[in-house]
């Protein structure tokens, strides 16, 4: 059983960091009014505005912000400003023991998947796969449902996803219960063969991605298959695959055909169509929490992520 971080209270301080690429600072600024609406104050990491090529500062600077926010007793939770690329570059230098000893809310997605997986493996804490400040919250497209899902940080609540939220499709039937793990498929694939390879044994594997053509998704799922990661999983929660249309080849398998080939053929509960990922609404979920996927009735229930 993973450690669930303490829930937020009105007046708590949130730490804001940019663990990967430089965030859009204008959108980050706009997102802060949402934190005000939630009754939260915030502390911005000292390196959030730094730019080092395609990275939000050097590896050492981004790692320093991450460590400082976990070590600071005045910070109740950490929300990432954005993703992009770069969190894996310093994963081997992260003090996961610090996070284990000071468990707190950690929220983000996309490139942040590498950090979620590391914390899941070595800090033993529940983390949150949800929309980020500059990338999502600061945009006009940020939806009411996405806003509402931040409520799970203030009150331990069971989440229920049904077709009332979006159309869902069964790839393979059955009902299964297990810990929810995973995130961005590209990042899960890049962790294979490293200390940060996702552990799917008896778990529900969540996957999502953006801008990856069917042949690329095929390659990444094949990598997971050959590493035994798909076989070890108990079921599959297939999130949003934005901009997944074939561009390079006139003739292509569809994304659906690829997903059916790798996931529908395993005879394990598998459902696609969840609005989890680079999409609006973005249904935020706690990774490391217990969940039940009912592929027969097309529903997903997830136990609370906070204490």
- Residue in 75, 87, 81 with CA at minimum distance from that of residue 40: 75
Predicted local distance difference test score (pLDDT) of residue 250 = 82
Which is catalytic among the residues 179, 197, 208, 212? 208
Catalytic residue among 110, 123, 135, 146: 110
Q: Is 60 a catalytic residue?
A: no
Distance separating alpha carbons of residues 197 and 187, to the nearest angstrom? 10
For the chain, residues with pLDDT lower than 50 are none
- pLDDT number for residue 307: 97
What pLDDT is stored for residue 40 in this prediction?
Answer: 98
Report all structural domains of the chain as residue ranges with CATH numbers, in order of start: 13-153 (3.40.50.10740), 159-302 (3.50.30.60)
Query: In terms of Cα–Cα distance, which of 83, 182, 65, 179 is closest to 131?
Result: 83
pLDDT at 249: 83
Catalytic residue flag (residue 208): yes
- The confidence score (pLDDT) of residue 248 equals 86
Q: Active site residue: 47, 116, 129, 278, which one?
A: 278
Give, in order, the Cα–Cα distances in Å from 179 to each of 202, 235, 265.
Answer: 8, 10, 22
Q: Residue 17's beta-bridge partner residues? A: 80
What six digits make up the tokens of 152? 């799970």
- Give the separation between CA 10 and CA 76, rounded to whole angstroms: 11
If DSSP states are collapsed to H, E and C, what string results for 190-235?
HCCCCCCCCCCCCCEEEEEEECCCHHHHHHHHHHHHHCCHHHHCCE
Residue 110 appears among annotated catalytic residues: yes
Helix, strand or coil for residue 165?
coil
């Amino acid at each position: 059983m993973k450690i669930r971080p303490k829930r937020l209270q009105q007046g708590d301080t949130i730490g804001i960091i940019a663990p990967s690429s430089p965030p859009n600072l204008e959108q980050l600024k706009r997102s802060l009014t949402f934190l005000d609406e939630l009754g939260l104050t915030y502390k911005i990491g000292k390196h959030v505005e730094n730019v080092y090529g395609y990275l939000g500062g050097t590896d050492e600077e981004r790692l320093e912000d991450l460590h400082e926010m976990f070590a600071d007793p005045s910070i109740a939770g950490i929300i990432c400003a954005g993703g992009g690329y770069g969190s894996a570059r310093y994963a081997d230098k992260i003090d996961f023991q610090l996070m284990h000893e000071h468990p707190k809310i950690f929220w983000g997605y996309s490139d942040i998947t590498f950090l979620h997986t590391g914390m899941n493996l070595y800090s033993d804490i529940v983390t949150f796969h949800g929309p980020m400040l500059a990338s999502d919250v600061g945009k006009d497209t940020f939806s009411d449902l996405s806003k509402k899902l931040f409520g799970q940080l203030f009150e331990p609540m069971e989440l229920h996803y049904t077709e009332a939220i979006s159309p869902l499709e069964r790839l393979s039937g059955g009902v299964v219960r297990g810990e929810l793990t995973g995130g961005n498929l590209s990042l899960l694939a890049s962790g294979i063969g490293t200390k940060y390879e996702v552990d799917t044994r008896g778990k529900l594997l969540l996957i999502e991605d953006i801008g990856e053509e069917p042949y690329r998704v095929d390659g990444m799922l094949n990598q997971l298959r050959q590493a035994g990661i798909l076989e070890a999983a108990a079921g599959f929660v297939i999130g949003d695959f934005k901009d997944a249309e074939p561009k390079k080849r006139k003739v292509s398998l569809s994304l659906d055909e690829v997903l059916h080939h790798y996931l529908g053929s395993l005879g394990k509960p598998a459902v696609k169509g969840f609005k989890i990922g680079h999409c609006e609404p973005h249904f935020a979920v706690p990774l490391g929490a217990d969940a039940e996927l009912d592929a027969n009735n097309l529903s997903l229930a997830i136990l609370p992520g906070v204490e």
